[in-house]
Amino acid sequence: MNSIGLRQILPKVFKNRADLHSDVWNENIEFKKGETYLLEAASGTGKSSLCSYIYGYRYDYIGEITFDGRSILNLKVNDWVKIRKQHLSILFQELRLFPELTAYENIKLKNSLTHYRKEDEIKTWFELLGIADKMKTKVGQISFGQQQRVAFIRAFCQPFDFILLDEPISHLDNENARVMTQILLKEVMNTGAGLIVTSIGKHLPMVYSKTLQL
């Protein structure tokens, strides 16, 4: 996948809003592989909705989303399975981890499906992000900031052409945000992937190809 296109996309709930000013909604936008994008937004302006639209989880919008020019409305179940396994990764704002599983089990569950990462590589990320001591702790028993780091690692346990990160550092200190950025930039550089990050104020400390106001 080389591009994600947005053609006059607008959440249906915003349909009758006359005060809407956005670089994204009701515009024609193209996200390109190899580029990095920051979507800045106030709370309630639809950033998480946009991520869900692109990922094919929700369809309560007007307009068209395309992958390499093909409307996602034409994708079948098997198409989505392949896309989510090989081309598109996401870190949801609400994380969607399994609280009854340990931090490492959450990662292993994903990696056992893709066989994409080596165990030593995963453990190194736990160490770099300061949560090596939480690997055997159930996710429901660790802080939200620690859970964010677990979900971040999980997002890298698959190949991808684009990665969506919805408020990835909302509960992280500056040092962990810096480490996360280093890991992210290294992976994006190695794979040539596109990066789309949302933020309501605190964002990854990096230079973006383009910043859009949602």
Domain of residue 97, CATH code: 3.40.50.300
Question: Max CA-CA distance within the chain?
Answer: 53
Which residue would you say has higher pLDDT here, 109 or 21?
A: 109
Domain tally, the chain: 1
Q: What range does the domain containing 13 cover?
A: 3-213
Q: What is the pLDDT of residues 152-178, one digit of tens each?
A: 999 999 999 999 999 999 999 999 999
Reported pTM: 0.93
Q: What is the pLDDT of residues 174-211, one digit of tens each?
A: 999 999 999 999 999 999 999 999 998 888 989 999 99
Per-residue tokens: 107: 């990662």
Q: Cα–Cα distance between 4 and 85 in angstroms, integer?
A: 17
What letter would DSSP give residue 129? T
Which residue would you say has higher pLDDT here, 105 or 204?
A: 105
Per-residue tokens: 88: 């598109």
